[in-house]
Structure 1
Amino acid sequence: MHLNVDDRFNRQLPADPIETPSRRQVSGAAFSFVTPRVPSDPKVLHVATDVASMIGLSQDDVQSDSFRRVFSGAELLPGTRPYAMCYGGHQFGQWAGQLGDGRAINLAEVLENGQHFTLQLKGAGETPYSRTADGLAVLRSSVREHLCSEAMHHLGVPTTRSLCLLTTGDSVVRDMMYDGNARPEPGAVVCRVAPSFLRFGNFQILAAQGDVATLQALADYTIEHYFPEIATTSPMRYSELFAIVCQRTADMILHWQRVGFVHGVMNTDNMSIHGETIDYGPYGWLEGFQPDWTPNTTDRSHRRYRFGDQPQIALWNLVQLANALFPLVGEADPLQASVEQFYEQFNEKLTSMQASKIGLDDVVDGDEELVSQLDDVLQLTETDMTIFFRSLANVPKSLDVEQDVEGGLEVIRDAFYAPEEVKDGIRNQWHRWFRSYLNRIRQSRLSDEERRDRMNRVNPKYVLRNYMAQLAIEAAESGDFSLIGDLHSLLLLPYDEQPSQQRWFAKRPDWARHKVGCSMLSCSS
């Protein structure tokens, strides 16, 4: 197996001088050298072949024993020195100090077709940042990470990728819901792939330590390698860096809102400097359209990271990054301008995105009110977000506004979890919205077919609902790994009809409503 190794981070930035995994506070360094733990009996469960090809691996490479050993942590690529990154972060709004890669190890960096990728093992053992944990991962969380990374990519959402999923042959003890019921679970490792795994927290920890020299070195490194559009000699380069990060973060969050994705743990250490979704823990897709829903049981009381507040939290996190970069910029005005621009541009793009979801080819006066009214009626009774928007594309504009408005309700009826509730006042409110909607789409130059095609390109038919992932996890824990591959194949084409996969275009089943792993997820998920 051959990869074009091109390590930069661990050669160009200062390293922690101590080379043991002993837990410690690290200063004056961007990372610590570590060695992955050798698993007892690693087995490859699934490989995303397009990711393998992207980083320069052939089918023969993927099937080799060397692949199994390298991507389980059992063997190092020649000439590489794995490392764990040092960073801090705000967790649930509170500064948590040093955090770092507690169960992630950067294996190597590779260059392929002019693109640079970092390969990171998650669950490959302890690091100086593991605190009281063991640095390992379990099968259930690894299945969720592997499938979701790839599902998000094929939905068109900026994200880290996942090359492969392996079991280690070792048991890992975990208390899944933090309720005192720890039990052994199968251990696993995922290989994540991204341009880099730099987070807001990488800059925050250095600013908090008052280490301006290393902060500047990290910022200069980041600009040189990942933001070439910025002139490295410009005195404004750090504020320009922040402005671009704001734009990319806004675009990422916009995609989250478009497909109904809820991250669950938007701490600043879980925010990528590249504007890519990173760290798939207690995530979820909206089942019923509930803007205040979060999949994270840790956040159930305050709902800080609920779906409807993700744009505001992203903005809050960007302010923390601005604070970290301030020592380099030296003035607040350019940073504040980027924050304000984030807010203005996001809201403008949000209106356009929402209009596209309901099939409007442009935005005119009154469209924001139409969207706002839709948000309201969607919450009158539990209504599946994915099924609703996908079905709405089938509403013909030939329906009579006064006589046939009930026909609109019939088209979307399968999205209701309790269709018997759609009566009296609820029905009347839906009728009023459909009258407004039909009047609006009749003004459009688009035919029904053109509108349906456009809507079906922004409204996925298939998303990785938590119950689907849970079915794959339970099967895998019983030794059947086929559903992992089946779901991966399904989610390669989430906007296609795929008639043979129609069973996955369905509302969450009743058994999953309150099941652990489906509706209840912790940060260990």
Structure 2
Amino acid sequence: MNLNSLQFDNAWMRLPEAFYSRVSPTTWRDTRVLDVSPLGAAQLDMDSDSIDRECLEALMAGRELLPGMAPIAQKYTGHQFGTYNPALGDGRGLLLGEAMTIQGAMDLHLKGAGQTPYSRFGDGRAVLRSSIREYLAGEAMSGLGIPTTTALAVAINGERVMRERVEPGATLLRLSPSHARFGHVEWLYQRRKTEDMQALLWHLIHRHRPEFAEAERPFEAFFADAVERTANLIAAWQAYGFVHAVMNTDNMSLLGLTLDYGPYAFMERYKPDWTPNHTDAGGRYAFDQQPGVGLWNLTVLAQSLTPLIDVERLRGMLDEYEPTLQSTYAQLMRARLGLTAKKDDDHSPGDASLTAAWLKLLEQHQADFHNAFRALGNYRSDADSRWQLANALEIAPEDKALETWLDDYDRRLQQESRGAEARKLAMDAVNPCYVLRTHLAQEVIEAAEAGDSAPLRCFRERLASPFSRHVGDGDDWFLPPAITAPPVCLSCSS
């Protein structure tokens, strides 16, 4: 099956016309596909090797559309850093069409497609740097099992684009079951378009949550689902050290997907109040603020739904956010620590206390967040293992905090039924050895800008299956940045 075989049902265009503007993609010269994702191809029921590169390049250059495509720019609004902005919408991306696959509908969204009525002062273009970063993010998050948008391919073109510097232009063919955002509902609430809001929710229910169509209160079921999925999503972000860095409500998916990768980063040396976004001076979207921001964003969404759902019922559903997030986070962290049965804090030691103390240890010694968990999988509750773990964490073996934590960990492991080898296998299955580190992504970007896309493919392959070490790999794909490296500091153009 090739791209021209895709069947499109552009249901978004059956919504009121105010939901979108019809826009044709801008044509970009000298477009060349750098990489095609097997994951993205599989989401379209295809094999990446069978995709016609000429057809794909024509699509990503804006020269040709596939039969049945009807490109549009979606209109929405949202709160940006806590302030409502009514002027938002797809400013540099177009929903080319909604393909019907075995799994259901799949948006094909061309990012970097040119100016739209919602571009404001933007040029509608994308640069290679940000496009590669988003492409790799979809692979990495999917590899970790975290809900996300993905991409079929990334392409470079012959345009030169001015951001912090002059950079190569690019396009990204993004995939998602839907690009519906909290900001879509906010926009309709602000315009007092209650009937249009009903039309949007029914569209999302029939298309993506059909089990709610027969519920006693379908809209409440949809909102409760959004609360649960958002809580689970952010719990996974916290468990794996992911910082989105721009959690504006227009960047929040109604389907609970990680959406709109900008100045994101994965944690390196553990610093819980860290944000990689240099424009976020107040730390609103710092790593440790993400759970609270998720609730704040859901509260804005709940307010927008008050024309359709009773306020007290909305509050009741919002009350489920924190316990859901905490439960999911605890489950993920138990797995990362190699624990099975749940042990509450009335045991000695309790799982929550053990997890918090582990993270405090990493913070105090600025240990690498990811390699620390991987190293812990090799621990065997003996003196040699203690020394090896201390060395891996760059902590003195006689450190009292480490000794105390390992004593508690040993007592907790005694309550487990499986042995050390089984625990290591289980921990290696949830603790990645390959992580989307910013300095490695930058090396890939620089190679691609110089005409070499092989490192991009190599890194993508490892991020897509991050838990098993690839045969023949040295240290290049594993090592964190040097402790003397400056902190990651990115802009929204990233």
Q: Normalized against structure 1, the TM-score is what? A: 0.89
Distance 1:57 1:371, change over 3 A: closer
Given the alignment of the two structures, is residue 189 of structure 1 paired with residue 191 of structure 2, yes or no? no
Secondary structure of the residue that 2:319 maps to in structure 1? helix
Give the aligned residue type for 1:369. Answer: S
Residue from 207, 217, 230 that aligns with 1:236: 217
Greater shift in the superposed pair: 251-260 or 385-394: 251-260
CA distance in 1, matches of 2:223, 2:103: 25
Partner of 1:339: 318
Secondary structure of the residue that 1:361 maps to in structure 2? coil
Distance 1:153 1:106, change over 3 A: same
Give the aligned residue type for 1:239. Answer: E
Deviation at 1:277, TM superposition (A): 0.6
Partner of 1:328: 308
Given the alignment of the two structures, is residue 394 of structure 1 paired with residue 367 of structure 2, yes or no? no
Given the alignment of the two structures, is residue 120 of structure 1 paired with residue 109 of structure 2, yes or no? yes
Equivalent pair of 2:391/2:397 in contact (CA under 8 Å)? no
Given the alignment of the two structures, is residue 259 of structure 1 paired with residue 240 of structure 2, yes or no? yes
- Structure 1 vs Structure 2: percent identity of aligned residues? 37
Deviation at 1:246, TM superposition (A): 0.8
Partner of 1:304: 284
Partner of 1:490: 462
Distance 1:470 1:220, change over 3 A: same
Deviation at 1:63, TM superposition (A): 3.1
Partner of 2:351: 367
Aligned residues: 486
Give the aligned residue type for 2:312. Answer: D
CA distance in 1, matches of 2:60, 2:31: 9
Deviation at 1:357, TM superposition (A): 1.4
Deviation at 1:512, TM superposition (A): 4.2
Distance 1:203 1:409, change over 3 A: farther
Distance 1:30 1:412, change over 3 A: farther
CA distance in 1, matches of 2:316, 2:492: 34
Deviation at 1:254, TM superposition (A): 1.7
Given the alignment of the two structures, is residue 451 of structure 1 paired with residue 451 of structure 2, yes or no? no
CA distance in 1, matches of 2:294, 2:429: 26
Deviation at 1:428, TM superposition (A): 0.9
Considering only aligned residues, what root-mean-square deviation do their CA atoms show, in Å? 1.7
Could you tell me which runs of 5 or more consecutive residues in structure 2 were left unpaired when the two chains were aligned: none
* 1:423-454 CA-partner distances (Å, limit 9, x unpaired): 77xx1111111111111112211100111111
* 1:286-329 CA-partner distances (Å, limit 9, x unpaired): 10111111111111x21111111211111111111111111111
Deviation at 1:520, TM superposition (A): 1.1
Give the aligned residue type for 1:320. Answer: V
Greater shift in the superposed pair: 252-261 or 158-167: 252-261
Equivalent pair of 1:467/1:512 in contact (CA under 8 Å)? no
Partner of 1:18: none
Given the alignment of the two structures, is residue 223 of structure 1 paired with residue 212 of structure 2, yes or no? no
Greater shift in the superposed pair: 184-193 or 87-96: 87-96
CA distance in 2, matches of 1:339, 1:10: 28
CA distance in 1, matches of 2:7, 2:234: 32
Partner of 2:369: 385
CA distance in 2, matches of 1:474, 1:511: 21
Which runs of structure 2 are paired with 1:394-473 in the superposition (5 Å)? 394-397=378-381, 399=382, 404=383, 407-416=385-394, 419=395, 422=396, 427-473=399-445
Give the aligned residue type for 2:352. Answer: E
Secondary structure of the residue that 1:225 maps to in structure 2? helix
Distance 1:506 1:99, change over 3 A: same
CA distance in 2, matches of 1:340, 1:361: 27
Secondary structure of the residue that 2:365 maps to in structure 1? coil
Partner of 1:26: none
Equivalent pair of 1:231/1:237 in contact (CA under 8 Å)? yes
Greater shift in the superposed pair: 500-509 or 258-267: 500-509
Deviation at 1:352, TM superposition (A): 2.2
Deviation at 1:114, TM superposition (A): 4.5
Given the alignment of the two structures, is residue 521 of structure 1 paired with residue 477 of structure 2, yes or no? no
* 1:141-166 CA-partner distances (Å, limit 9, x unpaired): 11101111111111111000110001
CA distance in 2, matches of 1:456, 1:230: 37
Deviation at 1:58, TM superposition (A): 4.8
Partner of 1:46: 35
Equivalent pair of 1:203/1:324 in contact (CA under 8 Å)? yes
Q: Normalized against structure 2, the TM-score is what? A: 0.95
Given the alignment of the two structures, is residue 354 of structure 1 paired with residue 338 of structure 2, yes or no? no
Deviation at 1:489, TM superposition (A): 1.3
Secondary structure of the residue that 1:109 maps to in structure 2? strand
Equivalent pair of 2:263/2:493 in contact (CA under 8 Å)? yes
Secondary structure of the residue that 1:328 maps to in structure 2? coil
Given the alignment of the two structures, is residue 72 of structure 1 paired with residue 61 of structure 2, yes or no? yes
Greater shift in the superposed pair: 67-76 or 287-296: 67-76
* 1:229-280 CA-partner distances (Å, limit 9, x unpaired): 1025x56211111000111111111221222111111111111111111111
Given the alignment of the two structures, is residue 505 of structure 1 paired with residue 478 of structure 2, yes or no? yes
* 1:79-117 CA-partner distances (Å, limit 9, x unpaired): 322001111111111112231111110011111225210
* 1:464-522 CA-partner distances (Å, limit 9, x unpaired): 100010001111111222111110111121001224224122121357434xxxx1100
Give the aligned residue type for 1:328. Answer: L
Equivalent pair of 1:203/1:325 in contact (CA under 8 Å)? yes
Could you tell me which runs of 5 or more consecutive residues in structure 1 were left unpaired when the two chains were aligned: 16-28, 176-182
CA distance in 2, matches of 1:376, 1:55: 43
CA distance in 2, matches of 1:59, 1:387: 32
Deviation at 1:367, TM superposition (A): 2.0
Partner of 2:71: 82
Give the aligned residue type for 1:408. Answer: R
Secondary structure of the residue that 2:85 maps to in structure 1? strand
Equivalent pair of 1:245/1:275 in contact (CA under 8 Å)? yes
CA distance in 1, matches of 2:59, 2:173: 10
CA distance in 2, matches of 1:184, 1:460: 35
Equivalent pair of 2:232/2:324 in contact (CA under 8 Å)? no
Partner of 1:210: 192
Equivalent pair of 1:5/1:108 in contact (CA under 8 Å)? no
Which runs of structure 2 are paired with 1:284-303 in the superposition (5 Å)? 284-299=265-280, 301-303=281-283
Equivalent pair of 2:378/2:385 in contact (CA under 8 Å)? no
